[in-house]
Structure 1
Amino acid sequence: MEPLTVDNGYLDSQYNPGGRFPAVTVSGRSDVSISSYLVCPSRKLIIGLGKRLRDPNGAVTGFSIGNHLTSEDPQLTQAMWKFLADTAGEEVVVKFSDDEEFEEIAGYQEIGGDEYDDISFEDYLRSGSQG
C-alpha cells in the first residue's frame, strides 16, 4: 500500500471553498509530480485526470490541473463521459504515475495527449465510438 500523501498543495481560495484542500503531507513527502489517469487496459486507452487531491487523512477527494479542479474543464469532462461510454462493459481503472505498472500504461494511446499517436480532445469528441 502506498504512503498517504497530499499530491497537490493548497489550491487558491477561488478553487478551494472552505479550505477543503489544505497543504498537508501525511507521510512526510509531497508527490506534486504524480499524475492520475483513467485507464482502459483492454483497449489500451488513457485519459489524463490531472494531479490527485487528498484530504488530511490521505483519501483521494478529486483531481486538479493547475489551479482548477479537473471537473471544471468542460472539454475534459465531455471526453471523460465519452470515454466511459466507449469503454462500457470493459475494465476501467484510475492509475497514478507512481504505480509499478505505469511504464506499460504510459505507452497506451492518450486522449488529449500530445504525443504523435495520441488523439486530441477535439478529434476524440468528433469521432464515433472508439470500440
Structure 2
Amino acid sequence: MKFRSAFFTSLVAVVVSLPSQALTLSSVELSAAQHLGCVLADDALGYLNEDQFNTRFDEAVGDLSDAQVDVIYAKALGYIDGLLFGVSSGDMDIANRRLESFSNSETCAYGAQAVSRTVSL
C-alpha cells in the first residue's frame, strides 16, 4: 500500500507541474505570440498571400526552436480564439470587425519595434 501511495503522490506531482511548465513563456515568446496573432488575423481577413504569410510567420517566430514555435503558435491561436469568443459561426460581420480592430491596433502595427514585456502574477 505504501508503494501505491508514493506512486500516486509522484504521479500527482508530475501532472500538477506539467501545466505550469507549458504555460511559462518568456517575454520574447509572449511578444512573438502576439505578433503571430496579428499575422493570423491579417491572414484570416485575406490580407496576405501565401508568400507574405510565410514571411511574416518567420519574422514573428525568428530563430526560436520548433518546440517554442509550437507553443507560440498555440498562444497566437488563443488570441484569435479569445477575440472571436461568443461570435456565432454564421456571423462573419462581427468576426471580421473584431479581426479588423485587432489588425488595426497599435499592437499589430506591422514593422513596429520590439518592446520589452514583463508578466506578473
Using the size of structure 1 for normalisation, the TM-score is: 0.27
Higher relative contact order, chain-length normalized (CA < 8 Å, sep 6+): 2
Bigger proportion of residues as strand: 1
